Amino acid sequence: MTRLGIRMVGVCACLLLGVGGGQASVLSPALVGGSIFFNLSPPPRVNFTTFGTHSLTGPGGLVQFTATPQPAPSLLAEVTAEAGLFNRSTGSLIYQMEVLGPGGSVAVSVQAAGSASASSPVGNPFSGFALKALWRFEDLSTASLLVNDEGINTPALTGSFSESFAKTYDMMLTVGHVYRVTLVADVGAGPGSSGKASGTAFIDPIFTFGPGVGPEFSFNLSDGIGNSGVPEPGTLGLMVAGALGIGVWRMRRG
């Protein structure tokens, strides 16, 4: 075979194999971890590094954290606290993703939903709460921060608080680049010397391709992480309302 023929075979092979992003990268495993605890024990503090629901209950209230990988990753932190205690539920999830396809850049939308709610007595010494429901998105291939801890992040507050968001982020992502997604949910609450306090925090981003993107593109995510059941905007609202409803139920129950 001539040199020209060899070069033509090589070009055709490159086109067929989709050089520049057709082959999936080996992504790092998803990392989940956090802590749930009462500021006074028993029960003892629990540190976790696995998906699922982790909870502590006792005379001082309830502390619970749920980390879900499927059908789409989400975090939910919940706290109720009796007088004299300040309880906390905090955790994070980090995973990787990339876009597979023929090459170049492609339109991707991220539908991020989150909520946070809490209640504590007003005018009671040491009463208060603080909430986080945040997400971050980074391009590890270029060391670029695309979304910087957006969502809900309160200072120390007292009284009542309730906020939710459902936002779509439109981006152009590069095929073959490795991206990192970080989720954080964190609730700390205490009523002070009397009464009760409670709070919840929820975060859930989902990725979908933009209009006109063909089936030759797909997502590759860390093993075990799902991205299915992409909700319509109305469904996103119901998800947020559901998380807020959990908080209201905890408050009324207290």
- Residues ≥6 apart with Cβ < 8 Å to 137: 110, 145, 146, 147, 169, 179, 180, 181, 182, 205
**Tokens read off for 238:** 């119901």
For the chain, the domain total comes to: 1
Is the pTM value of this prediction over 0.95?
no
| pLDDT score, position 11 | 33
Cα maximum dimension of the chain: 88
- Say if residue 102 is preceded by a cis peptide, omega within 30 of 0: no
Domain residues for 202? 3-253
- Give dist(CA 191, CA 171) in Å, integer: 42
- Residues ≥6 apart with Cβ < 8 Å to 214: none
Q: What is the pLDDT along the chain (254 residues), one digit of tens a residue?
A: 444 343 333 333 333 333 344 588 899 999 999 999 999 878 899 999 999 999 999 888 999 999 999 999 999 999 999 999 999 999 999 999 999 999 999 999 999 999 999 999 998 889 999 999 999 999 999 999 999 999 999 999 999 999 999 999 999 999 999 999 999 999 999 999 999 999 999 999 999 999 999 999 999 999 999 987 444 444 344 444 444 454 444 444 44
| pLDDT score, position 22 | 59
Q: Is 41:56 a contact under the CB 8 Å cutoff? A: no
